[in-house]
Structure 1
Amino acid sequence: MLFQVYGAHAATQWLGWILVFVALIALNELARRTKAGGLIMFVGLPIAMTIYVITVTAAASMGVSWGVNNPTVVFANGWFHYAKVYAALVGCIGFMMIKYRWGKLGKAHWFRAFPFVIVAINILIAVVSDFESAAHFFTGNVTWVNGSAVWTTSEHITVTAGWQNVFNGIAGLINIFCMTGWWAVYSSKKKDDMVWADMTWVFILAYDVWNFCYTYNCLPNHAWYCGLALLLAPTVANFLWNKGGWIQNRANTLAIWCMFAQVFPTFQTSIPSMGVDSPFAVQSTMNSTANVVVSLLALAANIAAIIYIAYRAKKLHVNPYKSEVFVGTRDFEQAAARVDSSDKEAVLAA
């Protein structure tokens, strides 16, 4: 058992998971299908969120009680949360520029590498967080609870620390280079998606295992939602009705979830000593053995993925980052069939 989903709150914990999963899929569909939906989700709501967090943070810095005790200030005011939400939002806006061919950037060939860059930045943010926990472990800045080394973040989250953070941090670095065909990103025929055909199940599986492990290591009280529901929502969409659109789905759902978690952090928080005990909150088992096993699986998955990519590149005699390496595979061809040929021709001719 990886999570504590049993006992008095088991029903509400499962209900919460289903609600989050369904809501993420529905809101992603709203955001991807129309310009208005995308602008509301990734411009309008972020502006409102930014005004809110600046207001409560400023109030807290001045010692005003409603600011000091605000849930965002208490439970979601660390560097990671802000870095993640704004990096995801930058990705969403950049993807919309490519999808709708907005301005010179949206049409430029060089800008088609933007998805790789922003995804790499997002991965690195998580890798730094994993290595932060590793640093606590190796410098002895931990306490031991039931045989596991733990430390408490500024947001009052107790996380395990150890070799698992090293294994998964390395997996994340490898995962960056599992992205192939960096410039082969195009608008879909219906203009509802940005299609990256070479981002097939090989990368998606390696990424999902790595990112789940990251959340399990470093966000043990959030991983039930951001490690399972949040990862499955874009993956299900990609495999069932939105082939080639996974990275757009991922950015959209990540930004939506991060904004929600930033403003309503107590939805998934249970710290009775601080007067917060949400019936939807789910904690991991906080067993370092489980963390190590999951981390080794993530590392193995990414090593396997990079080896397979190298094999495909050698077979086709191409550079896997300048060219597409999954040409001819079912996943690639299904996604490529959705590409707007006029956009592809214009970009390649630029």
Structure 2
Amino acid sequence: MLFQIYGEGAGWQLLGWLLVFTCLVLANEFARRSKMGGIICFGVIPALLTVYFIAIYVCAVLGMDWALNNDTYVHMTSWFHYAKLYAATAGCIGFMMLKYKWGIGKTEWFKVFPFVIVAVNILIAVVSDFESGIRGAMALAEYGDRWWLSSENVWLYGGWWNWVNGIAGILNILCMTGWWGIYSSKDKKDMLWPDMTWCFIIAYDLWNFEYTYNNLPTHTWYCGLALLLAPTFANALWNKGGWIQNRANTLALWCMFAQVFPLFQDASRFSVIPVLYADGFMDSAIRPTAVNPTMQGVIAIIALAANVLCFAFIIKRAKEQKKNPYKNEIFTDQKDFQIAMSRAE
């Protein structure tokens, strides 16, 4: 058991997950299928939100009640959420430049951009994981347990699992192959990275789920499960080679929604907490007295094992093919790669 889903509220919690998953899949389709959809999702909406965020913080400094009591100001103050939102949005814009061959998107050197932006996003999460591990150790020394209160008033339980998963994240960066093997689909709907096959996707999903389970525990039902499965679902069924674009699109759109409507996850009938909170609730005003970190440790080990195996598999194939796995594509014999390439220009 990963989450506390039972009782009268279980139906609402499951409905919330289904709604988020479905909306993410549909929003990704809207964003990827036309230039206008992409411009609206990753140009117009982020610009409007930036003005909104600045207005909130300026007005909060001026002491205006609407800003001081704004849900974004109260509940979404961590550097991580803003970094993730804008890094993911930058990725979406860069992918559109490659897909439509806008400006530097026509150049050969810019093909490495997807690797760079994904690596940056992973490193942001790795830093956050390590931060939680350090804060957990500090709490253990001071209070005798590993609970620490984040800047968003969520109790996190930092431990060795953060370090293990952080290492898995670093390995995951090394599991991205064929950095320059970036293509535009014939129908101009997708930027394709064919060498990013199931091997990487599984390793990434396991690592990222553990990251959210460790560091965003009150959100992971949605940003861990629904948000990770939406792009994987699309890639598996109809968008071969487009997983990284699906992932960036859904991540950016979810971050925008969560930044404006944080209480959907935090304090509504759709809220779900993991089994970590053995007291049965998470209240920032009450230091937890019971904890069940078993699944944090189990998933961290699975995530690390998956990334070690993926990396070892890549090295083995690279040696057999006598190729540099980062300069060259090494999964060309796999069906997913071949289907993706059949879609490429």
User: TM-score normalized by structure 2?
Assistant: 0.94
Aligned-partner SS, 2:146:
strand
CA distance in 1, matches of 2:33, 2:166: 35
Task: State the partner residue of 1:31.
Answer: 31
CA distance in 2, matches of 1:339, 1:128: 35
CA contact (8 A) 1:234 1:249 kept: yes
CA distance in 2, matches of 1:101, 1:174: 31
Task: State the partner residue of 2:157.
Answer: 160
Q: Alpha carbons of 1:249 and 1:143: their partners in 2 closer, same or farther (altered >3 Å)?
A: farther
CA distance in 2, matches of 1:253, 1:143: 40
Task: State the partner residue of 1:89.
Answer: 89
CA distance in 1, matches of 2:235, 2:143: 41
CA distance in 1, matches of 2:50, 2:117: 20
Task: State the partner residue of 1:22.
Answer: 22
**Structure 1 residue 137: deviation in Å?**
2.0
Q: Structure 1 counterpart of 2:51, which letter? A: I
**Structure 1 residue 63: deviation in Å?**
1.9
User: TM-score normalized by structure 1?
Assistant: 0.92
**Structure 1 residue 308: deviation in Å?**
0.4
Structure 2 gaps of 5+ residues are 277-291
CA distance in 2, matches of 1:133, 1:79: 14
Q: Alpha carbons of 1:305 and 1:144: their partners in 2 closer, same or farther (altered >3 Å)?
A: farther
Deviations 1:256-278 (A, max 9, x none): 000000000010003xxxxxxx1
CA contact (8 A) 2:140 2:146 kept: no
Deviations 1:33-80 (A, max 9, x none): 000000000001101111111111111222221111110011112100
Q: Structure 2 counterpart of 1:202, which letter? A: C
Q: Structure 2 counterpart of 1:208, which letter? A: D
Task: State the partner residue of 1:197.
Answer: 194
Q: Structure 1 counterpart of 2:271, which letter? A: A
Task: State the partner residue of 1:344.
Answer: none
Aligned-partner SS, 2:274:
coil
Which region of structure 1 is more displaced relative to structure 2, 41-50 or 62-71? 62-71
Q: Alpha carbons of 1:244 and 1:161: their partners in 2 closer, same or farther (altered >3 Å)?
A: same
Deviations 1:275-296 (A, max 9, x none): xxx1011111112111011111
Q: Alpha carbons of 1:243 and 1:143: their partners in 2 closer, same or farther (altered >3 Å)?
A: farther
Which region of structure 1 is more displaced relative to structure 2, 132-141 or 84-93? 132-141
CA distance in 2, matches of 1:156, 1:251: 27
Which region of structure 1 is more displaced relative to structure 2, 48-57 or 90-99? 48-57
Deviations 1:14-48 (A, max 9, x none): 11100000000001000000000000000011011
Task: State the partner residue of 2:12.
Answer: 12
CA contact (8 A) 1:159 1:220 kept: yes
Task: State the partner residue of 1:279.
Answer: 269
Q: Alpha carbons of 1:265 and 1:296: their partners in 2 closer, same or farther (altered >3 Å)?
A: same
Q: Structure 2 counterpart of 1:181, which letter? A: G
**Structure 1 residue 138: deviation in Å?**
2.4
How much is the aligned-residue C-alpha RMSD, in angstroms? 1.2
Counterpart of 2:337 (choices 332, 338, 342) is: 332
**Structure 1 residue 183: deviation in Å?**
0.7
Structure 1 gaps of 5+ residues are 271-277, 341-350
Counterpart of 1:178 (choices 161, 175, 184) is: 175
CA distance in 1, matches of 2:62, 2:151: 19
**Structure 1 residue 141: deviation in Å?**
6.0
CA contact (8 A) 2:99 2:183 kept: yes
**Structure 1 residue 112: deviation in Å?**
0.1
CA distance in 2, matches of 1:314, 1:259: 43
Q: Alpha carbons of 1:326 and 1:83: their partners in 2 closer, same or farther (altered >3 Å)?
A: same
Identity of aligned residues (%): 58
Q: How many residues align?
A: 330
Task: State the partner residue of 1:293.
Answer: 298
Q: Tell whether 2:44 aligns with 1:44.
A: yes
CA distance in 1, matches of 2:141, 2:253: 33
CA contact (8 A) 1:149 1:288 kept: no
CA distance in 2, matches of 1:44, 1:122: 22
Deviations 1:218-276 (A, max 9, x none): 00000000000000000000010000000000000000000000000010003xxxxxx
CA contact (8 A) 1:136 1:142 kept: no
Q: Structure 1 counterpart of 2:40, which letter? A: I
**Structure 1 residue 8: deviation in Å?**
2.5
